[in-house]
Amino acid sequence: MSEDAWKRRFDRERKVRKEAEMLLEAKALELFQANVKLKEEMEKRSEQERVLIQQSKMSAMGEMIGSIAHQWRQPLNVVSLLVADMLEAYEYGDLDEEYLKDVQRDIMENIKFMSDTIDDFRNFFQVSNQKILFSIKEVVDEVLRLYFHESKDLNIDIKMEKITLEELTILGLKNEFKQVVLNLLNNSKDILLERNVRDKWIFIEFSQNTDYINISFEDSGGGIPIEIIDKIFQPYFTTKHEDRGTGIGLYMSKTIIEDNMSGTISVSNTDIGAKFVISFPK
């Protein structure tokens, strides 16, 4: 080949290479931009999730204030009776040291109960991003103690397996898990009252095998209509009136269990009602 021919070939190849390089650069830029966009999308999504969790916390907080009021009614009554009684005792000349000591003890006990209630609720709402090892049964106990003491008045029987499974511990966000338990129990309570079921109960069961720890919530509320059962975990899906439900309870529960705690949550209908099962891999 002549020198000229070599040069032509060389130039041609250089041009091709240059074009390829430019194409590659353009593609790399495109990829980079797509990546930035994806990151932005992901940030936006997790921001939206934070907002949802926050909203749900706010509505739970409203319920919390109702529950505190309910828990305080009894001790407040007792304290005001004790104080009224004290004046009477004074008028009748019964107000000796022993009497005063008794009254003091009773009043202090009631105040302590009220102050403990506040502490319980405050702990309940402390946000923590730290994963800790906790007993799922203890969490359920706490939610029942704080929120469902009025279930007797509502005629709802909340049954829990009597077996001691305190050792069923999982690693995760304890307070978020409490919110999940609260959401499920509230949904059952709502449906039992809304449908005016005669025999109202919620049954909470724990189990485990070599790979999983499971907890299930079953109620006697008649179940979820088959047309909507696939939609109930979607954000903002609700069958409730707007001031009774926002439709984020189950969406948030699923996010917490599946994204934050690597578990699963599923639902099915039994003969008598709905049953939600949560499983955590061991």
Ligand X SMILES: Nc1ncnc2c1ncn2[C@@H]1O[C@H](COP(=O)(O)OP(=O)(O)OP(=O)(O)O)[C@@H](O)[C@H]1O
Kindly tell me which of 137 and 254 has the beta carbon lying closer to Mg ion: 254
Question: Taking CB within 5 to 8 Å according to partner kind, which of ligand X, Mg ion, none is near residue 246?
Answer: ligand X
Chain residues in the site for ligand X (CB under 6 A): 59, 183, 187-188, 191, 219, 221, 224, 232, 237-240, 245-251, 274
Closest residue to ligand X, based on beta-carbon distance: 249
Alpha helices for the chain (secondary structure H): 3-91, 97-125, 136-147, 174-194, 249-254
Supply the minimum distance, in Å, between the C-beta of residue 157 and ligand X: 15
Is there a contact between 220 and 197 (Cβ–Cβ < 8 Å)?
yes
Residue 263 beta carbon to ligand X: minimum distance, rounded to whole angstroms: 17
Conformation bin of residue 222: beta by default, left when phi > 0, alpha when psi is -120 to 50: left
Write down the least CB distance from residue 200 to ligand X, Å. Answer: 12
Partner touching 235 among ligand X, Mg ion, none, CB below 5 to 8 Å by kind = none
| Interface contacts to Mg ion, rule CB under 5 A | 187, 249
**Out of ligand X, Mg ion, none, which partner does residue 99 contact, by CB within 5 to 8 A per kind?**
none
Q: Considering only CA atoms, which of 235, 237, 205 is closest in space to residue 218?
A: 205
Q: How far is the CB of 36 from ligand X (least distance, A)?
A: 33
From the list 179, 269, 163, the residue with the least C-alpha distance to 218 is: 269
Taking the complex as a whole, the smallest distance from the CB of residue 250 to Mg ion amounts, in Å, to 6
Cα end-to-end distance, the chain, whole Å: 73
Q: Which long-range contacts (CB under 8 A, 24 or more apart) does 258-263 make?
A: 260/172, 260/173, 260/176, 261/170, 261/172, 261/173, 261/176, 261/177, 263/170
- Residue 224 interacts with which of ligand X, Mg ion, none, CB < 5 to 8 Å by class: ligand X
Of the pair 110, 238, the CB lying nearest ligand X is at 238
79 binds, among Mg ion, ligand X, none (CB under 5 to 8 A by kind): none
Decide whether 106 or 194 has the Cβ nearer to ligand X.
194
Residues 6+ apart with CB under 8 A from 135: 166, 167, 168, 169
